[in-house]
Structure 1
Amino acid sequence: MSQSITMDYPLAHLDVAEFIPHRAPMILIDSLLEHQTDTLLTDVYISSQSAYFDPVTQSVPNYVGIEYMAQSIAALAGIEAKAKQEPIKIGFLLGTRKLKLDVKAYKHGEHYHTRVTRLYQEDSGLAVFDCQILHNNEVVAQANVNVFQPQDTQAYISDSIQGQEEEK
């Protein structure tokens, strides 16, 4: 069912904001490139307008790549939700494993592609993704990213706050 989005519309012409719960200026990925079941490829173009751009180094620090990965995961979830005619839900980045950053920064004027592939997902909303950031088809960052997307975000947040208050 999710394939219909990629077959009906060229992904690169779709607005990323329609698929993720983030809003400007915190939308860090620029476009959706390729979608297959459990996998999405996105693009980031580094410009002086990019979030976290450092004008001194003319780059974005490498650690921002974790957010490129997380937003690409969110976009995949958004594509899947839209295909099912469901609302876009908020998810939470729980952590990473096997994080490897092979570049110190993402350079001005360059495109970077982020590929996210679902490795595992529980009915509870817990999932693990294999993520890679590529520059000129060479892997420059990679990680396994653990995320959680509760069925009812508001209830989850309320329960978390209530639990913290009870601990005090």
Structure 2
Amino acid sequence: MKQNTYPIEQVVPHDHPMILIDELLSYDDEKAVCQLTITPKSNFYNQAKQSVPSHVAIEYMAQSIAAFANANEKDKGGEVSIGFLVSSRKFKVHVSEFKLDAKLIVSVEQLYLEDSGLSAFDCKVEQDNEVVAQAKINIFQPNDAEAFLAQQ
């Protein structure tokens, strides 16, 4: 895997504060690794509990998939585009929340990509080398997202 050189804002098609991951660490044609640290400024942070609910992991996974796809697209001279989370299967969380200062590593691996733009990913979130969340996620990335949205 190659080390990433793109700032997260260049590969995740959101604006702050909706960018939830801190960094794309590395990627190749099949997988990517991202990271984030839970802080009081993290989106969905609960000040009273000093944590983020673990169900937010699904969005960490989705944004890591976006970083993977867009970094690879930028490497080919292409443009950043949006994709749509179609469904998730086997989403499991092994903790109820991500505590303040937790360092999370998000790994995504593409299982397949169809010509239609549909793809599937095996995803996991680790903390201290332990899997704390996992899912299989299906993504749809149309060739022309603007045209697709206009038709909807």
Range class of TM-score, shorter chain: over 0.9
Secondary structure of 1:129's counterpart equals strand
Contact 2:31–2:107 (Cα < 8 Å) also in 1:
yes
1:25 deviation in Å? 0.7
1:136 deviation in Å? 0.9
Q: Which residue of 1 aligns with 2:115?
A: 123
Residue 68 of structure 2 corresponds to residue 76 of structure 1: yes
Aligned-residue CA RMSD in angstroms?
1.1
* Aligned pair partner of 2:131 in 135, 139, 143: 139
Contact 2:107–2:124 (Cα < 8 Å) also in 1:
yes
- Please report the TM-score for the alignment, with normalisation by the length of structure 2: 0.96
Structure 1 segments of 4+ aligned residues over 3 angstroms from their partners:
none
Distance 2:28 2:13 in 1: 21
Matches within 5 A, 1:78-93: 78-93=70-85
Distance 1:157 1:117 in 2: 27
Distance 1:152 1:15 in 2: 24
* Aligned pair partner of 1:44 in 22, 28, 36: 36
Matches within 5 A, 1:1-168: 6=2, 10-11=3-4, 14-160=6-152
Partner deviation per Cα, 1:50-85 (whole Å, 9 max, x = no partner): 000000110000111000000000000111110110
Unpaired segments of 5 or more residues in structure 1? 161-168
Amino acid at match of 1:144: K
More helix per residue: 1 or 2? 1
Q: Which residue of 2 aligns with 1:166?
A: none
Partner deviation per Cα, 1:7-43 (whole Å, 9 max, x = no partner): xxx52x6410011111111000001112132100100
Secondary structure of 1:141's counterpart equals strand
Partner deviation per Cα, 1:122-151 (whole Å, 9 max, x = no partner): 011100000000001110100000110000
Secondary structure of 1:43's counterpart equals strand
1:158 deviation in Å? 1.5
Unpaired segments of 5 or more residues in structure 2? none
More strand per residue: 1 or 2? 2
